[in-house]
Amino acid sequence: MTIKTRFAPSPTGYLHVGGARTALFSWLYAKKHQGKFVLRIEDTDLERSTQASVDAILEGMQWLGLEHDEGPFYQTQRFDRYKTIIQQLLDQGHAYYCRCTKERLDEMRDTQKQQKQKPRYDGRCRHGISDENVETVIRFKNPESGEVVIHDVVKGKITLQNKELDDLIIARSDGSPTYNLTVVVDDMDMKISHVIRGDDHLNNTARQINILNALESDLPQYAHLPMILGDDGARLSKRHGAVSVMQYRDDGFLPEALLNYLVRLGWSHGDQEVFSMEEMINLFDLKDVNVAASAFNSEKLLWLNHQYIMNSAPEMVAKHLVWHLEQQNIDPKNGADLVLMVQAQRERCKTLVEMAKASRYFYSDFEQYDPKAAKKNFKAATEMVLQSLLDQFSAIDIWDGDALHQIVLKTAETMELKLGKVAQPLRVAVCGGSVSPSIDITLSLLGREKVLTRIQTAINYIKNLDNE
């Protein structure tokens, strides 16, 4: 059997982390079994679906690197197919026209609630009793007896009684198909072998199985994933922080780090925390997904992101960093080699936003010094130290980190100063503040022209202080 999974979001908003985890699990399962991963856009809710949301979903999937093998398919382009299936169900006696008014249905449900019954359609039109001259919907004729057995890969065997399921609407009064009908037709036509989705869809699964049985179609295997909770135990929402996938990009997270974090929300492999994509594909199995809900921990994600920044190929980190530099109006072409800069900064920066901010002085001149750093390090005696460094740096032929470091050491020794009394004023002079990578790496990355110009600027600044 060819393994075929799908991710089928509704374009009524952004791609959220719960959807991204569903997409990831579906993608991993298909890749593990050399199968196919299908992307389907379920856009039949014409009032709420927007092109902006479609674009946001596609952008999120692309950023995460979850490439689809087939699609994207759009349900709004398949209305003729749904119409054919609805007519087939009518012709075969598996569906019927319902002419119940909204007022009657509301009254029926109110009565059921008062009697502490589960609100469900009473089948009035199913038995030929109907009103005339009202808008007509089409309902699926659900079996009135027996049971539906779901052999869920995650949750195990689940049994529901057909008498608990009402005759759901499969076509609205305007003729448009409803969710449960379109999903069934798509999964059948696209030969989906495994339906992997959140457990909030579990109630729909029994209804969809009955429609598939009526169409004499093979059933896919179902795997319902537990929900994701916030740190407080409530369902994950905006109040817990970012839930949009692209917000995590904007906040400086690597897509690989987010995927690694999401795969551990409900799945584990021993005590291992960090997984390469190859390890995820090879080790992932739906049978190992937990039944219980998982809690989203922002601090854990931040830790994991730092692990990826420190241990990933610097070329990969640099590629993602470019976007963040540009967001802060920093031209990455106007300064230090990006890969070398990443290597210099990755130990101290947990996000790419943080790295971009901390690296601005490598690519653009600063307008002023950090006040505290300048006050502490720019004393009258500092002018002589910086002038000596300027003279020696100007004289060397090759701009090399080791050579620059030796000059700093020699200056401290000659002037009988502690190394910090030389290196720290130099750092403030060339970076504008007191924090940077080691001074030799910082000088090497900045380059001769920037270093010499900035030291001279610092000397002039100190002279002006003396004059004041």
* DSSP per position, 329-387: T--TTSSS-HHHHHHHHTTT-SSHHHHHHHTHHHHS--SS--HHHHHHH--TTHHHHHH
The two three-digit tokens of residue 307, written as one number: 């692990």
Amino acid 390: pLDDT: 98
Which residues lie across from 98 on neighbouring strands?
A: 137
Within 10 angstroms of residue 214's Cβ, the number of other Cβ atoms is: 19
pLDDT digits (tens, 9 = 90+) for 317-333: 999 999 999 999 999 99
Which pTM does this prediction carry?
0.91
pLDDT bracket for residue 287 (50, 70, 90):
very high
pLDDT confidence of 274, banded at 50, 70, 90? very high
Q: According to the model, what pLDDT value does residue 110 have?
A: 83
More confident residue, 132 or 88: 88
Largest CA distance in the chain: 105
Tell whether the model's pLDDT for residue 468 goes beyond 70: no
Residue 175 has pLDDT above 70, yes or no: yes
- Least confident interval from 89-103, 118-132, 352-366: 118-132
Q: Tell me: pLDDT of 237 over 80.
A: no
The residue-averaged pLDDT of 72-77 equals: 97
The answer on pLDDT for 5 being more than 60 is: yes
Give the pLDDT mean for 430-445: 96
> What is the pLDDT at residue 132?
61
Residue 465 or residue 262, greater confidence: 262
Find the mean pLDDT for residues 151-168.
94
pLDDT above 60: residue 133: no
Residue positions counted in the chain: 468
Catalytic: 102?
no
| Residue 125's pLDDT band (cuts 50, 70, 90) | confident
Q: Is the pLDDT of residue 242 over 80?
A: no
Lowest mean pLDDT among 16-20, 29-33, 238-242: 238-242
pLDDT band at residue 127 under the 50/70/90 scheme: confident
Q: Identify the active-site residue in 238, 300, 319, 376.
A: 238
Cβ-in-10-Å burial (0-12, 13-18, 19+) of 238 comes to: exposed
pLDDT at res. 106: 80
Find the distance separating the first CA and the last CA of the chain, reported in whole Å: 84
Q: Which of 42-51, 116-125, 406-415 has the lowest mean pLDDT?
A: 116-125
> What integer pLDDT is reported at residue 118 of this predicted model?
81
Cα–Cα distance list, 441 to 148, 312, 342, 369, 401 (Å): 67, 20, 12, 20, 6
Torsion of CA 238, 240, 244, 246, to 10 degrees: 130
Provide mean pLDDT across the span 261-282: 95
Q: What is the mean pLDDT of the chain?
A: 93
pLDDT at 109: 83
CA angle in degrees (0–180, nearest 5) for 27-31-34: 140
